[in-house]
Amino acid sequence: MNHSEQRKAFLEIGRGAMLERFDYELERIIDNILDPNTPATKPRKIQLTLTLTPDADRMQIKHECVVKSAPQPTNPISGATALLRRGGQMSLVELVPQIPGQGDMYGGEQRQPDVFNIKKQA
């Protein structure tokens, strides 16, 4: 095939900049899929928007390409706290699965719960 007869895809013009942007977003999506903190089976999206604007003579066409991705957000982090009043001080205390200091079946020890003191009270 003669070099002048070779046909390129439109996305390859501009030294492949549009394809490079697509590949960049694809890598972001793959990273998001591999992240254990995101839902495994939820879909991710890559959107390529190509805008073609002809001039008044219809001889030149300005093109603009925007590539964006929609990865999944990380999984929610959940837990439980208890609202306690101790000596007039209100606190949120993290609920832990065992009594602090108690050993678990893996040889570890239950840590002390985190406490958040509430400064202003209603």
Instruction: Give 104's contacts (C-beta < 8 A, 6+ positions apart).
Output: 98, 110
Do the domain assignments include residue 93?
Answer: yes
Q: CA 44 to CA 69: how far, in whole Å?
A: 8
Do the domain assignments include residue 3?
Answer: no
Q: Which residue has the higher pLDDT, 73 or 102?
A: 73
Structural domain that includes position 112: 81-118
Do the domain assignments include residue 76?
Answer: no
Do the domain assignments include residue 2?
Answer: no
**Whether 89 and 64 share a structural domain:** no
**Whether 65 and 16 share a structural domain:** yes
**Whether 38 and 91 share a structural domain:** no
Do the domain assignments include residue 1?
Answer: no
Question: 114: closest CA among 99, 98, 95?
Answer: 95
- Residue 19, sorted as left (phi over 0), alpha (psi -120 to 50) or beta, turns out to be alpha
Count of domains in the chain?
2
Q: CA 73 to CA 32: how far, in whole Å?
A: 8
User: Tens of pLDDT along 40-64?
Assistant: 999 999 999 999 999 999 999 999 9
Q: CA 67 to CA 29: how far, in whole Å?
A: 12
